[in-house]
Amino acid sequence: MPSTHLKQRAANVFQDVCGYPATTFVQAPGRVNLIGEHTDYNDGFVMPCAIDYQAVIACAKRDDGVIRLISVDYDHIQDSFVVNQEIKPTEDKLWANYMRGVVHFLKEKGYSLGGADIAITGNVPLGSGLSSSAALEVVTGQAMKALYELDVTQSDLALIGQASEHNFAGCKCGIMDQMISACGEKGHALLLDCRSLETKSVHIPEGVSIMIVNSNVTHSLVDGAYNALREQCEEASRLLGKVALRDATLAELGASSIKKGSDVYKRAHHVISENERTVACADALIAGDLQKVGEYMYASHASMRDDFEITVPEIDYIVEVLTEALGNKGGARMTGGGFGGCCVALMPTEMVPQVQAAIEAKYQAKTGIKESIYICTPQNGAGVI
Ligand code: GLA
């Protein structure tokens, strides 16, 4: 759905509930990660792009210091709190916590805020590895930035979104999702150095399409599996005597005291090799060498399946079908945190119909679950609409 529809929907509900029209509209996109999985919180490299699925807010200032959140998509449920009192997570409205956290951390960083009416809608599929939660965080920050003319950079909005996710939602995520939602660039993926937050734009060559296949097996990163993986990576880097796995090589891992084949060894093996693949894959994409890009993507998937152990049979099957259909003309892998969600494939545009047909013919027949397929083009990051 184009953002104009989301904007209209948010505007209508805002008017109905608040009884006056919204003054300001902002959006923040979800993302698909082309390569570089679970490398972000290891200070490594990722290469996501923002997609044409977004969170959209219609809002206006209030002069009584109250912030009222209105969920357009969940029966207009509301949450409200006072901006200059202590802001805490709620027990029952989990969606609101992501937004509360953003307001809390904006305040904590010293930005001066007032009240607001905020109607939120969106079409990023939930729990699918396309970063619906980062879109929600970033769009909230963007709304406060627009309403109160805050002098806050897009990278700082991303960091504030991440702080909200850590402290108000309980997921110790990296910085990839919030950064790409805040800073994405139309027509490009971003090679992001998650240590320095430097970005390099990587143009998606003409004639190359990005396909997302949603397994419709959903996950929840808040459930602890993600945090446990992060701890194993930190354990590996401690044992290697490094600040982060970003600083380690495969040779150092091989020569270390970490037992080959142990969980900690395998997690580190994935992260160290994935970092190398991500940087090399960006170079291959810049050179327009889709065959090489494909090799790195397939290798990334195998590493997530065998070393990081975050794929599920449905996801492995989608990648198998995509690999069969694409051969060395493109590449495919799981994208996102894992345990379900989506796969991403890069391919020559003329192959889209046949690849789509292969998935449609096989996935549901094998798993009993109907997939969703999105062809997406990289979009700009968050902003006023
Ligand atoms: C989730 C997290 C990100 C990143 C990915 C895995 O999307 O929010 O920070 O760690 O998983 O690459």
What does the angle CA 29 – CA 33 – CA 37 come to, to the nearest 5 degrees?
A: 135
Q: Whose CA is nearest to atom 1 of ligand 1?
A: 337
The arithmetic mean of pLDDT across residues 142-149, rounded, is: 98
The residue whose CB lies within 8 Å of the most ligand 1 atoms, and thus the one to mutate among 39, 47, 177, 271, is: 177
pLDDT mean over 47-71: 98
With beta carbons less than 8 A apart as the criterion, state whether 135 and 30 touch: yes
Distance from the alpha carbon of residue 65 to the mean position of ligand 1, in angstroms: 34
Q: How many CB atoms lie within 10 A of CB 163?
A: 19
Burial (CB count within 10 angstroms: exposed 0-12, middle 13-18, buried 19+), residue 15:
middle
Instruction: Give 3-53 pLDDT, tens digit per residue.
Output: 789 999 999 999 999 999 999 999 999 999 999 999 999 999 999 999 999
153-182 tens-digit pLDDT: 999 999 999 999 999 998 999 999 999 999
List pocket residues of ligand 1, CB cut-off 6 Å: 37-38, 40-41, 131, 173-174, 176-177, 221, 336-337
- Residue that is written with structure tokens 């409205």 in the block: 93
pLDDT in tens, 322-349: 999 999 999 999 999 999 999 999 999 9
Spatial CB neighbours of 124, under 8 Å, sequence gap ≥ 6? 29, 30, 51, 53, 54, 55, 130, 131, 132, 135
Find the 173 Cα to ligand 1 centroid distance in Å. Answer: 6
User: What are 80-104's pLDDT values in tens digits?
Assistant: 999 999 999 999 898 999 999 999 9
Q: Mind giving me the DSSP string for 330-371?
A: SEEEEESSSSSSEEEEEEEGGGHHHHHHHHHHHHHHHHS---
CA pair distance 47, 201, nearest whole angstrom: 9
CATH of domain 2-199: 3.30.230.10
pLDDT in tens, 191-235: 999 999 999 999 999 999 999 999 999 875 556 889 999 999 999
Task: Tell me the pLDDT tens digit for each residue of 296-324.
Answer: 999 999 999 999 999 999 999 999 999 99
The residue to mutate among 35, 37, 40, having the most atoms of ligand 1 within 8 angstroms of its beta carbon, is 40
Closest ligand 1 atom, CA of 40?
Answer: 10
Q: Which residue of the set 40, 43, 79, 177 is catalytic?
A: 177
Query: Dihedrals φ, ψ of 131, to 5°?
Result: 65, 50
